[in-house]
Amino acid sequence: MDSTLAKPPLAVSLRSLLARAWDDPDSRSTAVGFVGVINFYLLLWITGPYLLNYQTVGSVVRPHSSAREFNIEIAPETFVKPTPKPQPFKFVETNPDAPENTPDKTDNFAARNQQVAL
């Protein structure tokens, strides 16, 4: 004797699954949430094309309008290379015991007005 078990149809198995989930108070909220999410997305899928229908609005061409010209003038100072800044003075130490002697021409400065040997 050959006996085979046939699987129940999908609708019957889903119905029994929902019935078992509905009877258990702990899983009832999960079943309600699942059914609610499915209903929400079905409703969104059906009404979405009507609610989110973006139609282009035809533009009105005015007969008196014309293309506007846009001119830009760039100041010539923007293309001139800046002059290099002079190097700042270099601080050097001096001898506090040396007499005051004004330096000839130097790029150095010190706490006292005297010549420094470099």
| Structural domains in the chain (count) | 2
Residue 99's contacts (CB-CB under 8 Å, 6 or more residues apart) are 114
Sign of CA dihedral 118, 89, 103, 100: negative
Mean of pLDDT over the chain: 77
Residue 58: the pLDDT is: 64
Instruction: Print the domain residue range for 89.
Output: 83-118
77 in any annotated domain: no
The pLDDT of 1-16, averaged and rounded, is: 75
Q: What is the pLDDT of residues 71-99, one digit of tens each?
A: 888 887 777 887 888 777 777 777 777 77
75 in any annotated domain: no
The pLDDT of 11-40, averaged and rounded, is: 82
In the chain, count H helices and then E strands. 2, 2
